[in-house]
């Protein structure tokens, strides 16, 4: 292993130079004006892996192309599939960047540029980790498949369909997803669960036009009032979601989970202060981490009705709308939750208005095995690369593709993030700490070795 | 009287021609680009009245000028003050007008053009009514003062201040306000009460920026949820406003009022159908007319928070705002009501958010004597001009200047509207029925005579 670790360090300069080239490509997936750049970026990463000896192919998915690159050492060795994405969030200098977001640079031990942490930098940890083996031994200790998509930031569904239809192409023994932040700075976690998502837009309609509140106020149900009241009824006074059947399928937290999470460093007052509120809120009877990771939530993401300009206008609005979403936990089903929320809204809707509901794309919650050989291999690699024992946690956010990968390939998925919460992903001056880059490269190199040790 | 009524008919052609000239002036008060036109319009109406023998003067108020025109016959005669406004709502052909809104024309027995019903046409009923006396007798049966403002549609407060400071200038025995619709088509009402107005904008603030609902959903009080819940708590389940002290100062309806109103033609199903709702709503225990005229109401006029664009965005918004207004009845006080609503919102506000409240201009409710010599004179003039017995009603809307006129001049105010609900005031193709114009002119001529008869 020492030789491989040595080669991680030896390859760092080249890896960094290449990563900067990778970051120079404005592979923005949400804006069709950049379709030429996403195609160029897919070709760039495919060519790079081809240069390392991979059999790299570009697949048209109907959206931005996907790259599948395979390095097959032997049929007898296990195969590790590494997932990442080459597309990035939109970014313009005017958004508040200190420099052109696609002119990356290193300053104060950090790599600055759009995609540096999300996700090109994290993907490059694996590229460099694999390469260290090739430099040290001329081969790999396991078979490796890179699966690199181009529409993670655009959620168009093409890639999801591609995965579901490519079970054979992507067959493997375990899957590694590196996208997101560590639990603590410099202290990685192994993540075994993600929340899912239900999203809907609702519109309450009253009169067929805005009315004069002097002429009609007091005899017409006001849709903004009706919607407010209906949304208010979605919670009880203990912070629980007051929707019948909502909690029916929620898998109770295991005792070990609550015990482990209670040991994690978490400063509730500091979190509140960090977002500018006097106190955290939420469901009674659960700690903040339990509420974030193990309990479903409901949020109003937007609401609009009537006159919203300067000054006063005395109307009774014709319509009122809201966007409502739920983060879901195992074993909740987004469709059943959407039905339950809609049924509750209809049950409390006053007379004199009507309700229409439009559902948006959803995501299933994910519960992965919290134990097993892949977890063991990752934990050992964390010990080696970071010198700490990894936390074992869940996550509150959703990564829809994880559910698809797990369901299609039916193999352990390892969620192993290399970034930090403070990396400003999706914001201006996104960056990736060189220390995290180095740790990630070493983790990747060590992980492949550990897999070979356990399953080789 | 026959000679005067004859002169109303004889002067109709000239009055209509002059009204069309009056309507050609785009005296839009809300847009400073038209300040030259409002000034021109004030001068036009002052010059016209001067031509009829009035002493007409233009007063700078700090806003659009006011016109005060006096015709003094004798110190011994009573003085009737006639209020109207020469300014109009904004109007552009592109808003849906069939023709240039400031190129008025007569079609199908209706005068089309911005201001035709609100309020130039109604004001001109009085101009022509006064003139009929002058043509018939060379003088007037009473002293007349026209008080004509230029910012009724802009509510800037300058005119209100002018009235409050001009008690001596405007001294009179009764005040006539003609602005708005009759109760039924061709069937006028004497209005003895108007509702007042309390208006506020509220903002609930949670985190100091929008948060990711995956990363924070379940541990932060969502301001849109908080505001919805708070607004929902403003009503109970019987349609009453659930704000402590809200109804404290509400003057109960007299028995005669409820009895009279019950006799008025009112088709609840037709009203609901006319605005496209399945049923009317509101406070239990009161008829629709009682709720509109004799009970206060609370409406959300606008609400906004978070993401309101296409598709989905999974944020917890930083802020949520609403515009809230109440129509008030005698003897409610707008300031006390604003305090009560704010206190209720604060009482039900959850932890983890803050509330800020901005009050907008308010209006006091008005209760005028429902009996007296001015009412008697008006009723007799209605019988003569329209051939019907006038309804005696309240109104649900607010005309702030009425409170100021009544409080400053301490004389009976007669609210005598000549228009129809269907006149499309404030909308495209505003119009005024020639029949209503003729009735209004005759009413005005007869009213002056009746005042002279009773008080002369």
* Tens-place pLDDT, residues A323-380: 999 999 999 999 999 999 999 999 999 999 999 999 998 999 999 999 999 999 999 9
Strand, helix or coil at B57? strand
Domains of chain A (ranges plus CATH)? 2-194+365-455 (3.40.630.10), 196-250+296-362 (3.30.70.360)
- What's the number of CA atoms in the CB half-sphere (13 Å) around residue B248? 9
Nearest-CB residue to B283 (from A212, A218, A395): A218
Q: Does B406 touch chain A (CB under 8 A)?
A: no
Strand, helix or coil at A278? coil
Distance between CA atoms of residues B43 and B64, nearest Å: 11
With CB atoms and an 8 Å threshold, state whether A235 touches B221. Answer: no
Distance between CA atoms of residues A178 and A416, nearest Å: 5
Q: Could you tell me the maximum CA-CA distance found in chain A, to the nearest angstrom?
A: 85
With CB atoms and an 8 Å threshold, state whether A300 touches B317. Answer: yes
Mean of per-residue pLDDT scores for chain A: 95
Tokens encoding B439: 């009735």
Neighbours of A77 (CB within 10 A): 18
With CB atoms and an 8 Å threshold, state whether B229 touches A235. Answer: yes
Among A residues 185-204, those touching chain B with beta carbons less than 8 Å apart: 195, 197, 199, 201
Tokens encoding A4: 């491989």
Tokens encoding B44: 């036009």
Among A residues 18-37, those touching chain B with beta carbons less than 8 Å apart: none
Nearest-by-CA chain A residue for B313? A301
Distance between CA atoms of residues A48 and A71, nearest Å: 13
- CA distances, B41 to each of A1, A7, A151 (Å): 93, 88, 62
Could you give the ipTM of this predicted complex? 0.90
Distance between CA atoms of residues A415 and A176, nearest Å: 6
pLDDT of B259: 96
Distance between CA atoms of residues B18 and B130, nearest Å: 15
* B280 chain-A contacts, CB cut-off 8 A: 219-220, 352
Distance between CA atoms of residues A433 and A419, nearest Å: 8
* A397 chain-B contacts, CB cut-off 8 A: 212, 214-215
Distance between CA atoms of residues B159 and B66, nearest Å: 7
Query: What DSSP state is assigned to residue B181?
Result: B
Asked whether the beta carbons of A41 and A86 are under 8 A apart, the reply is yes
With CB atoms and an 8 Å threshold, state whether A212 touches B397. Answer: yes
With CB atoms and an 8 Å threshold, state whether A308 touches B312. Answer: no
Question: Buried b vs exposed e over B180-219: b needs ≥16 C-beta within 10 Å?
Answer: bbbbeeeebbbbbbbbbbbbbbbbbbbbeebbebbbbbbb
pLDDT of B23: 98
* B422 chain-A contacts, CB cut-off 8 A: none
With CB atoms and an 8 Å threshold, state whether B312 touches A235. Answer: no
Q: What is the pTM of this model?
A: 0.90
Strand, helix or coil at B319? strand
pLDDT of A172: 98
Q: Does B352 touch chain A (CB under 8 A)?
A: yes
Q: Does B277 touch chain A (CB under 8 A)?
A: yes
* B228 chain-A contacts, CB cut-off 8 A: 227-229, 231-232, 300, 303, 322
Per-residue pLDDT of chain B (456 residues; tens, 9 = 90+): 689 999 999 999 999 999 999 999 999 998 899 999 999 999 999 999 999 999 999 999 999 999 999 999 999 999 999 999 999 998 999 888 999 999 999 999 999 999 999 999 999 999 999 999 999 999 999 999 999 999 998 877 899 999 999 999 999 999 999 998 888 888 999 999 999 999 999 999 999 989 989 889 999 999 999 999 999 999 999 999 999 999 999 999 999 999 999 999 999 999 999 999 999 999 999 999 999 999 999 999 999 999 998 888 889 999 999 999 999 999 999 999 999 999 999 999 999 999 999 999 899 999 999 999 999 999 999 999 999 999 999 999 988 899 999 999 999 999 999 999 889 888 899 999 999 999 999 999 999 999 999 987
Distance between CA atoms of residues A418 and A434, nearest Å: 11
Residue A85 pLDDT grade (very low, low, confident, very high; cuts 50, 70, 90): very high
Query: What DSSP state is assigned to residue A419?
Result: B
In DSSP terms, A184 is beta-bridged to A187
How deeply is A23 buried, as exposed, middle or buried, from its count of CB atoms within 10 A (0-12, 13-18, 19+)?
A: buried
Nearest-by-CA chain A residue for B278? A352
Task: Name the strand (E) or helix (H) holding A405.
Answer: helix A400-409
What DSSP line would sit under A356-385, residue for residue? EEEEEEEE--EE--SSSHHHHHHHHHHHHH
* A209 chain-B contacts, CB cut-off 8 A: 275-276
pLDDT of A157: 85
* A281 chain-B contacts, CB cut-off 8 A: 219-221, 350-352
With CB atoms and an 8 Å threshold, state whether A209 touches B276. Answer: yes
> Closest Cα to residue A133, out of A54, A195, A200?
A54
pLDDT digits (tens, 9 = 90+) for A244-268: 999 999 999 999 999 999 999 999 9
* B428 chain-A contacts, CB cut-off 8 A: none
* Beta-carbon contacts of residue B81 (< 8 Å; ≥ 6 apart): B144, B145, B146, B147, B170, B172, B174, B175, B176, B405, B409, B411
* B314 chain-A contacts, CB cut-off 8 A: 197, 199, 299, 301, 325
Strand, helix or coil at B203? strand
Query: What DSSP state is assigned to residue A57?
Result: E
Q: Does A90 touch chain B (CB under 8 A)?
A: no
How deeply is A378 buried, as exposed, middle or buried, from its count of CB atoms within 10 A (0-12, 13-18, 19+)?
A: buried
Strand, helix or coil at B437? helix
Strand, helix or coil at A340? helix
pLDDT of B1: 64
Query: What DSSP state is assigned to residue A11?
Result: T
The answer on pLDDT for A51 being more than 90 is yes
Tokens encoding A155: 């959620």
Asked whether the beta carbons of A442 and A384 are under 8 A apart, the reply is yes
Q: Per DSSP, which regions of B72-195 are E strands?
A: 79-85, 105-107, 110-112, 143-149, 174-177, 189-191, 193-194
With CB atoms and an 8 Å threshold, state whether B214 touches A308. Answer: no
* Beta-carbon contacts of residue A33 (< 8 Å; ≥ 6 apart): none
Asked whether the beta carbons of A169 and A67 are under 8 A apart, the reply is no
> Closest Cα to residue A377, out of A456, A450, A455?
A450
Tokens encoding B403: 């409170």
Task: Work out how many CB contacts closer than 8 A connect A with B.
Answer: 286
pLDDT digits (tens, 9 = 90+) for A24-49: 999 999 889 999 999 999 999 999 99
With CB atoms and an 8 Å threshold, state whether A302 touches B302. Answer: no
Question: Buried b vs exposed e over B23-49: b needs ≥16 C-beta within 10 Å?
Answer: bbbbbbbeeeebeebbbebbbbbbebb
What DSSP line would sit under A186-235, residue for residue? TB-EEE-EE-EEEEEEEEEE-SSS-EEHHHHTTTS--HHHHHHHHHHTTB
How deeply is A59 buried, as exposed, middle or buried, from its count of CB atoms within 10 A (0-12, 13-18, 19+)?
A: middle
* B295 chain-A contacts, CB cut-off 8 A: 218
Tokens encoding B102: 């400031």
Asked whether the beta carbons of B264 and B391 are under 8 A apart, the reply is yes
Among B residues 212-251, those touching chain A with beta carbons less than 8 Å apart: 212-222, 224-225, 227-235
Distance between CA atoms of residues B192 and B80, nearest Å: 18
Among B residues 295-334, those touching chain A with beta carbons less than 8 Å apart: 295-308, 311-317, 320-323, 325, 327
Tokens encoding B249: 């100062």
Tokens encoding A109: 């031990």
Q: Does B415 touch chain A (CB under 8 A)?
A: no
Strand, helix or coil at B315? strand
Query: What DSSP state is assigned to residue B419?
Result: B
Distance between CA atoms of residues A383 and A447, nearest Å: 11
Neighbours of B271 (CB within 10 A): 15
Task: Name the strand (E) or helix (H) holding B224.
Answer: helix B223-232
The answer on pLDDT for A1 being more than 70 is no
With CB atoms and an 8 Å threshold, state whether A303 touches B304. Answer: yes
Question: Considering Cα of A89, then A92, then A96, then A102, what sign does the dihedral take?
Answer: positive
The residue among A183, A214, A329 with the most chain B CBs within 10 A of its CB, best to mutate, is: A214
The residue among B89, B195, B299 with the most chain A CBs within 10 A of its CB, best to mutate, is: B299
With CB atoms and an 8 Å threshold, state whether A275 touches B398. Answer: no
């Amino acid at each position: 292993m020492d030789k491989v670790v040595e080669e991680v360090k030896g390859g760092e300069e080249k890896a960094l130079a290449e990563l900067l080239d990778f970051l120079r490509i404005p592979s923005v997936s949400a804006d069709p004006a950049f379709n030429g750049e996403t195609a160029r970026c897919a070709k760039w990463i495919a060519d790079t892996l081809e240069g390392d000896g991979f059999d790299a192919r570009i697949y048209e998915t109907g959206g931005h192309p996907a790259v599948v690159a395979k390095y097959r050492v032997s049929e007898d060795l296990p195969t590790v599939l590494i997932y990442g994405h080459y597309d990035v969030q939109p970014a313009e200098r005017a958004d508040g960047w200190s420099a052109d977001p696609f002119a990356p640079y290193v300053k104060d031990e950090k790599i600055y540029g759009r995609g540096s942490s999300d996700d090109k930098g994290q993907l490059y940890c694996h590229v460099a980790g694999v390469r260290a083996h090739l430099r040290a031994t001329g081969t790999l200790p396991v078979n490796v498949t890179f699966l690199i998509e181009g529409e993670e930031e655009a959620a168009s569904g093409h890639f999801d369909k591609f995965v579901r239809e490519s079970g054979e192409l992507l067959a493997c023994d375990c899957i590694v997803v590196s996208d997101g932040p560590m639990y603590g700075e410099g202290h990685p976690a192994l993540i075994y669960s993600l929340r899912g998502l239900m999203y809907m837009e609702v519109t309450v309609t009253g009169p067929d036009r805005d009315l004069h509140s002097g002429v009609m106020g007091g005899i017409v149900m006001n849709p903004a009032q009706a919607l407010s009241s209906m949304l208010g009824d979605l919670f009880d006074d203990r912070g629980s979601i007051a929707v019948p059947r909502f909690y029916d399928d929620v898998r109770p937290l295991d005792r070990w989970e609550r015990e482990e999470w209670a040991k994690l460093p978490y400063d509730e007052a500091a979190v509140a202060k960090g977002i500018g509120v006097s106190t955290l809120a939420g469901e009674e009877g659960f700690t903040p981490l339990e509420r974030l990771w193990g309990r479903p939530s409901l949020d109003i993401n937007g609401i609009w009705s009537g006159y919203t300009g300067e000054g006063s206008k005395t109307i009774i609005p014709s319509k009122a709308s809201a966007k409502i979403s739920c983060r879901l936990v195992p074993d909740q089903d987004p469709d059943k939750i959407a039905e339950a929320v809609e049924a509750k809204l209809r049950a409390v809707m006053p007379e004199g208005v009507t309700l229409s509901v439009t559902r948006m794309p959803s995501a299933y919650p994910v519960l992965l095995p919290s134990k097993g050989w892949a977890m063991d291999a990752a934990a050992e690699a964390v010990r080696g690369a970071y010198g700490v024992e990894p936390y074992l946690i869940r996550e509150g956010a959703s990564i829809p593709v994880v559910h698809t990968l797990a369901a299609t390939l039916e193999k352990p998925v390892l969620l192993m993030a290399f970034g930090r919460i403070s990396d400003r992903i999706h914001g201006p001056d996104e960056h990736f700490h060189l220390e995290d880059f180095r740790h990630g490269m070493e983790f990747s190199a060590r992980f492949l070795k550990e897999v070979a040790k356990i399953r080789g």
